[in-house]
Amino acid sequence: MKNHRSVVLMMLVLMSVGVALSQAPLPPTNLTLQPGMHGGVMLRWDSSANALGYKVFKAVDTSNFFRVAVVLRPGYFDWAIFPNQTYHYYVKASNLSGDSSPSDTVSYTLGPPPP
């Protein structure tokens, strides 16, 4: 009887994991930016349940967004930024069932270099 309960419990766990991964994850929340010490910008966000990874998107000034990275953890450092341009970012969480809708968009403008 004890083995039967273990088998039933294991089946319930596996079914719940299957249900969780059969849906795209919720979008990441609390996307923030921090300037890097020597240029660049650090993006951080709260992880999404059931996400296996994250796709980071970027736009420069008024251009269209494009994907710049696929990462496994909730953070990304972007070195490819230049003074006097505004950068916009959003993140999507991903799993085997697809991508979440986008996170909120955040923007960052790197000022001119020191004289």
**Is residue 63 classed exposed, middle or buried when 0-12, 13-18 and 19+ CB atoms within 10 A define those classes?**
exposed
Instruction: Please state, rounded to an integer, the average pLDDT across all residues of the chain.
Output: 86
What's the pTM value of the predicted model, to 2 decimals? 0.79
pLDDT digits (tens, 9 = 90+) for 24-38: 999 999 999 999 877
Q: Are the CB atoms for 55 and 94 separated by under 8 Å? A: yes
Q: For 82-104, how does the pLDDT look when each residue is reduced to its tens digit (9 = 90+)?
A: 988 999 999 999 999 999 999 99
